[in-house]
Amino acid sequence: MITEAGLNHTFGIPGALIFEQDAGGLLFARMATDAGTASLSLQGGHLLSWQSSASAEPVLWMSKQARFAAGKSIRGGVPVCWPWFGPHATDPSLPAHGFARIAQWSVTGSDVNAQGEVSITLALQHDLAHETVWPHSANLSLTVTLGESLRMQLETRNSGMTPFVLGEALHTYFNISDIEAVTVHGLEGGEYWDTVGGVEKKRQAGPIEFSAETDRVYINSDAATVIDDPVYARRIHIAKCGSLTTVVWNPWTDKANRMGDLGQPDGWRQMLCVESANAWDNKITLAPGAVHSLDVAYRVETR
Give the residue numbers annotated as catalytic, written as ranges.
Answer: 171, 275
Distance CA 150, CA 38 (A): 9
Distance CA 219, CA 236 (A): 21
Q: Which of 59, 57, 62 is nearest to 79 (CA)?
A: 62
User: Tell me, what amino acid is at 244?
Assistant: L
Is the C-alpha dihedral spanning 212, 216, 221, 227 positive or negative?
positive
CA angle 184, 46, 230 (to 5 degrees): 25
Distance CA 303, CA 298 (A): 17
224 touches 295 (CB < 8 A): no
